[in-house]
Structure 1
Amino acid sequence: MVKPPTVQKDLECTLEELCYGCMKKIKVTRDVLTNTGFVLMSLRQIIQEEEILIINVKPGWKKGTKITFEGMGNERPGTCPADITFVIAEKRHPLFQREGDNLKIVVEIPLLKALTGCEISIPLLGGENMTTLMIEDIIHPGYEKIIIGQGMTITEEEGKRGNLKVTFLVEFPTELTDEQRSDILSILEDSC
């Protein structure tokens, strides 16, 4: 018997679901052949049937990972049932971006703190806050801090996670008084 092409569907997951793993239940409606009638004159009829498919999303799965359910697609006379393949797609996260096993976040920081140092609370995936990030350097364009082990779960290495890359966006004032300009000019002239 001929097997029809695989039916492919996206399975959207949040970064949290892909980092920590989860169970997804997907309702699928498919055409199924049934036998009706007499023994000698068997008639085949197509009816629609609902199935619940369960996918255990493993920690660390990446966009593009495929999960196939063999024979769970539509049935047609003279063919085998089609397979259904779900392809992992990442939902956009409001704070984090994924880069392989690492996460990236952009944090805004006032100019004063960028120049003088500060302690910053960085949000972590899953809602926790990390308040111990002490910055004593001058934050300049392209400045990045890496927090070890706060990225995505690494599938191949149990218990290990990638890193969190924190990039800083310095908030500049939109207006300065003449006195502020003068003060800044004198301070910066001394540093050159």
Structure 2
Amino acid sequence: MDSNSFHTLSKRTNSTIIYSNANGLQKPPNMVKRLECTLQELCFGCIKKVNIKRDVLTGEGQIIQEEQVLTIKVKPGWKRGTKDTFEGMGNETPGTCAADITFVIDEKQHPVFKRNGDDLEVTIELPLVDALTGCTLTVPYLDGEESCLEIDDIITPGYRKTIPGQGMSLPKQEETRGNLNIKFSLQFPQHLTEEQRSECFDILQDSF
């Protein structure tokens, strides 16, 4: 088992878990399990306890099923596809070493944020009038906090704002985080009267 993880002791006390094939026994393939984590858990780290069932050998050579709880320390900055292996904690079969269990990190979809490497992206909808005349926005952060962002520019398609240090934690630099990139979705009016159309034309015709 790597240094980042630890597990509870087995409920059995009369059997020995074999951690290597130094005795010449064949090592069976790893048992692979998916571990789903939220963006918050992957950004800030967490402890996850996982119940497993596995086949074990008794002292009489019988195979019985055993329940165990494995404790996984998810470190800040882990990504989808990160693997964490518990050696010798998989199924036992006669004539082989105990299999390893490998947990593969998966990422739950977040309703607001999207991960892009070490950065996060959020899309904010703006009425066209705010995009043209400027506005003050409330920007959400992954930790639940919010901040105010004042925009004086004209927001055009593709316009972005970046807030440094509000993205994901970096795996090898846990005190450092990526950026939060803000994209904008413009809300156009669904209907204009002839008078409004004329006024818009008068205002905008010389603006390009």
For 2:165, the equivalent position in structure 1 comes to: 149
Q: Which amino acid aligns with 2:83?
A: K
The CA distance in 1 between the partners of 2:33 and 2:83, in whole Å, is 10
Aligned partners of 2:48 and 2:74 also within 8 Å? yes
Q: State the partner residue of 1:7.
A: 31
User: Which residue of 1 is the match for residue 105 of structure 2?
Assistant: 88
Aligned equivalent of 1:35: 59
Deviations 1:39-58 (A, max 9, x none): xxxxx111110010000100
* Counterpart in the other structure of 1:39: none
| CA–CA distance in structure 1, aligned partners of residues 107 and 66 of structure 2 | 29
Kept in 1: contact 2:164–2:179 (CA 8 A)? yes
Are residues 1:46 and 2:70 paired?
Answer: no
Tell me the amino acid that sits aligned with residue 78 of structure 2: W
Q: 2:77·2:170 contact (CA, 8 Å) conserved in 1?
A: yes
Match of 2:81 in 1: 64
RMSD: 0.8
Match of 1:118, as an amino acid?
Answer: C
Q: After the TM superposition, which parts of structure 1 deviate over 4 Å for at least 4 consecutive aligned residues?
A: none
Gaps of 5+ in 2: 1-24
User: Which whole-Å CA distance do the structure 1 matches of 2:115 and 2:196 have between them?
Assistant: 41
SS at match of 1:3: coil
Q: Distance in 2 between matches of 1:96 and 1:46?
A: 46
Picking from 175, 192, 196, the partner of 1:180 is 196
Q: 1:17 aligns with which of 41, 64, 67?
A: 41
In the alignment, which residue of structure 1 is the partner of 2:135? 118
In the other structure, the counterpart of 2:19 is: none
In the aligned structure 1, how far is the partner of 2:205 from the partner of 2:26?
Answer: 80
Residue 105 in structure 1 maps to residue 122 in structure 2: yes
Give the letter for the 1:11 counterpart: L
Gap runs ≥5 in structure 1: 37-43
Aligned residues: 184
Distance 1:157 1:34 in 2: 45
Q: 1:136 aligns with which of 152, 163, 166?
A: 152
Which amino acid in structure 2 is aligned with residue 128 of structure 1? Answer: E
Report the equivalent of 2:181: 165
Paired AA for residue 49 in structure 1: E
Q: Please report how far the alpha carbon of residue 79 of structure 1 lies from its aligned counterpart in structure 2 after TM superposition.
A: 0.6
